[in-house]
Structure 1
Amino acid sequence: MNDFERALRYLNDPLNWSRPNGIADLAVEHVTISAVAVLVAMVIALPIGTALGTARRGGGLVVALSNVSRAVPTLALLTLFAVSPIGFGNRATTIALTVFAVPPILTNAYVGFRGVDPELREAARGMGMSRAQVLGRVELPLALPLVTTGIRTAAVQVVATAGLAALVGGGGLGRLINLGFGQQDYGVMIAGAVLVAGLALLTETVLAVLSWAVVPGPHRLPFLQVRTPEEPGGVPEPTASGVPL
């Protein structure tokens, strides 16, 4: 029996899924670590990217922050955290993954809002819209495709990297890879790698569908589309006399 067959047997054993600290528990922990890191990164990056993008300033700052964040390896951060008061465990991993997730979210938010045509902003203000209305009803829908792409990219990267938590005493599916490597059981190690890769692909698929559904445009889901009066089922426009056309 080769290592891939051992991995398949390991994954097909229900006990490995249902036991305490089994695959199911590790997967939930993996998703929790990743979700917290991405949400914190969104809270940090989206307001900064939105503010700089709408002001059409700070491009150099965004590039510098993104490059610095990308240049620092997550494993190096975990090593530094291990000898600092942050220490080991899931907290250190979450902080490191948050730093890792900020650049794509920040960059895409900045580029998305900066790319909105200034004439559209002026036209919206001319119609009497407040600054908040212009942001929510004009700029956000136009910037949303790039914003959601940045969030999706960050989420997939974080899910794929969260396995490093096992190296600093954290949880997640990386513990299977670490366990298999430590025991020279390459079947378990391959099973852990397959699970991490599968979870990353699932994350990409789910977020791609959500992005497709929420982004305005003709490609939205049928029940989210706004019908025009000419389309079947559309509401006819009234004339000046109140009689529909």
Structure 2
Amino acid sequence: MSNPVSQAITWLNDPLNWTNPGGVLDRLGEHLVISAGAVGLACLIAWPLGLWLGHRRRGGTAIVVLANITLAIPVLATLTILPLTFLGFGRPAVIVALAIFAVPPLLATAYTGMTEVDPQAREAAIGMGLAPHQVIGRVELPLAVPYLAAGFRTASVQVVATATLAVFVNGGGLGQIIGAGFGLGMVTGGGQILAGGLLVALLALTVEGVLAGAQRLVTPRPMRRRLRVRTGAQPAT
């Protein structure tokens, strides 16, 4: 009897597993839609709040507390609770649950990006007669872009990896492949389970690599070391 590794290789090399309805290509598309929707929703919530509080130099403690509380809530718990609300089972509940999970790094890095703006640059802009919204749009926001990119990268990778749990609420994505493998049993479906896990890992690494390159492009060289120190692996803490 072949081992799970050889079964996974065989499963991945079968074109029908990629092109059939519910195959890898379909599940990959669902996974990307779910992840993009969750990160997009989280950005709509976290960035305006973080940028405004950072501009006002207020709410730093509240952001840390909120981020830590949000991170303390297991994603699986929110995935279990939200389908029981008006959202129901399926993609909307998954997107909202993952958006909650993505808010902390986006919120923290947006706030940090604004507070790290050189006060002299801000004072010079005010001295030139710029209104508060002009100071934000023309001075502070461009200087905070590298921090926003760092938070976006962290949140996106976390969401892509965690979106696998959507299988528990019929949300679609690559987790469906893993769930179907468990349904077949470890002896028969072990290769499919391993193949699904490898696909999720490869997708997360691809997103990490692409966004790391994008972050590097928007970050001036003198800021790169400081940005790594400020954001770290857990930018919400």
Structure 2 counterpart of 1:196, one-letter code: V
1:150 corresponds in structure 2 to 151
Cα distance in 1 for partners of 2:177, 2:127 equals 59
1:38 corresponds in structure 2 to 39
Cα distance in 2 for partners of 1:218, 1:78 equals 41
1:9 corresponds in structure 2 to 10
1:104 corresponds in structure 2 to 105
Cα distance in 2 for partners of 1:43, 1:181 equals 36
Does residue 188 (structure 1) correspond to residue 192 (structure 2)? The answer is yes
Structure 2 counterpart of 1:163, one-letter code: T
Q: Please, what is the CA RMSD of the aligned residues?
A: 1.7
Cα distance in 2 for partners of 1:133, 1:8 equals 56
Q: State the Cα distance separating 1:217 from its structure 2 match.
A: 5.1
| Structure 1 unaligned blocks of 5 or more | 220-245
Structure 1 counterpart of 2:104, one-letter code: P
Comparing 103-112 and 207-216, the one that deviates more: 207-216
| Structure 2 unaligned blocks of 5 or more | 224-237
Q: Larger RCO: Structure 1 or Structure 2 (Cα < 8 Å, ≥ 6 residues apart)?
A: 2
2:89 corresponds in structure 1 to 88
Does residue 74 (structure 1) correspond to residue 75 (structure 2)? The answer is yes
- Tell me the percent identity: 52
Comparing 51-60 and 204-213, the one that deviates more: 204-213
Cα distance in 2 for partners of 1:81, 1:125 equals 45
Any residues of structure 2 matched to 1:126-141 within 5 Å, and which?
Answer: 126-141=127-142
Q: Which has the higher helix share?
A: 2
1:201 to 180, 199, 205: 205
Cα distance in 1 for partners of 2:96, 2:209 equals 25
Which SS does the other structure have where 2:171 is aligned?
coil
Cα distance in 1 for partners of 2:72, 2:220 equals 34
Structure 1 counterpart of 2:110, one-letter code: A
Does residue 214 (structure 1) correspond to residue 215 (structure 2)? The answer is no
Give TM-score, length-normalised by structure 2: 0.88
1:25 corresponds in structure 2 to 26
Cα distance in 1 for partners of 2:143, 2:55 equals 12
Q: Contact 1:141/1:215 (CA < 8 Å) preserved in 2?
A: no
Comparing 207-216 and 195-204, the one that deviates more: 207-216
1:116 corresponds in structure 2 to 117
Structure 1 counterpart of 2:219, one-letter code: V
Q: Contact 2:146/2:218 (CA < 8 Å) preserved in 1?
A: no
Structure 1 counterpart of 2:51, one-letter code: T
Q: State the Cα distance separating 1:116 from its structure 2 match.
A: 1.3
Cα distance in 2 for partners of 1:85, 1:135 equals 37
Which SS does the other structure have where 1:171 is aligned?
coil
Q: State the Cα distance separating 1:60 from its structure 2 match.
A: 1.6
Cα distance in 2 for partners of 1:79, 1:47 equals 29
Which entry has the higher C-alpha Rg, 1 or 2? Answer: 1
Structure 1 counterpart of 2:45, one-letter code: I
1:238 corresponds in structure 2 to none
Runs of 4+ aligned residues of structure 1 deviating over 6 Å after TM superposition are: none
Structure 2 counterpart of 1:206, one-letter code: V
Q: Contact 1:49/1:110 (CA < 8 Å) preserved in 2?
A: yes
**Can you list the C-alpha shifts for 1:66-121, whole angstroms capped at 9, x where unaligned?**
01110111100111123333221111111100000001000110111112122210
Q: State the Cα distance separating 1:216 from its structure 2 match.
A: 4.4
